Amino acid sequence: MAKDPRIDAKIADAAPFAQPVLTHLRALVHATFPDVEETIKWGMPHFMVGGKNLAGMAAFKAHCAFVIHGQGRQGDAMGQYGKIASLSDLPADAALARKLRAARADIESGTKKETAPRRAKPDLPVPAEFQAALDGNPAAKAVLEQFAPSHRREYVEWISEAKRPETRDKRIAQAVEWLAEGKKRNWKYEGC
C-alpha cells in the first residue's frame, strides 16, 4: 500500500530524537502487514486494516508514543509502551509484531476487549456568581440545562478555575453570551 505523504511530513517535522523511532515503528507495521492503510487521526499517524484502527504513533517534545488499539493502556503515558525516547526503549520487534497480529486478529474476528463501565462524574456545584448570571438570562440557563453533563461540566470548570475575580467575571459574561447563542464551551473546535 502507498505511504501517506502526511505521515512523511509528520516524521520530518518531529524532533531529531523522534525521527528514527517513528520511522522504525512505521517500517515494522508495514513489514508485519504490507496491506496496512495509513492515515492521520486525532492529528497522529495511524495504521488501519479494513477501515479499523490498528495502531497509532505520536511524537512529543521529549518522547514518542505507540498505541496498539484494543490492547489496553499502561501507566500515565499514552499507549502501552510508556514514554519512548529512543529505539532502545522499544520492546523487541518480534514482540511488537506479535501484539500487532493479535490486534488485527481481534479486528478481523470482531472481538472487542471487555472494558470496565465508566462511572459518571458527579455534577460540580455551580458557582453562585455564575448561577446568578444564568438566572438573569433564562435563554442561556435553558441551553445549559439541556446540555449533556460533560458540556455543563466544561463551563463550570472553566469558571471555577479562574484565580482572580476579574477573570471569573469575564468568563461568566463570556459563558452567558455563548450559552445564549446555544454554543458549547469548546464550540470553536467543533468540526476540526
Q: How much is the pLDDT for 188?
A: 82
- Residue 192 pLDDT level (bands cut at 50, 70, 90): very low
In our burial notation (b when 16+ CB lie closer than 10 A, e otherwise), range 81-99 reads beebeeeeebeeeeebeeb
Q: Residues 84-97: what's their mean pLDDT?
A: 91
Please state, in angstroms and rounded to a whole number, the distance separating the CA atoms of residues 91 and 83.
12
For 3-48, write each residue's pLDDT tens digit. Answer: 889 999 999 999 999 999 999 999 999 999 999 999 999 889 999 9
Residue 77 has pLDDT above 70, yes or no: no
Q: How much is the pLDDT for 51?
A: 87
Side by side, the strands of the sheet bearing 64-68 are 37-41, 44-49, 52-59, 64-68
More confident residue, 76 or 11: 11
- Residue 109 pLDDT level (bands cut at 50, 70, 90): confident
Domain-wise residue ranges, the chain: 5-109, 128-187
Residue 74 has pLDDT above 80, yes or no: no
Q: Residues 61-79: what's their mean pLDDT?
A: 75
Could you give the dihedral angle defined by the CA atoms of residues 50, 51, 53 and 59, in that order, rounded to the nearest 10 degrees? 120
Residue 76 has pLDDT above 80, yes or no: no
Domain 5-109 in this protein, CATH class: alpha beta
Question: Whole-model pTM?
Answer: 0.58
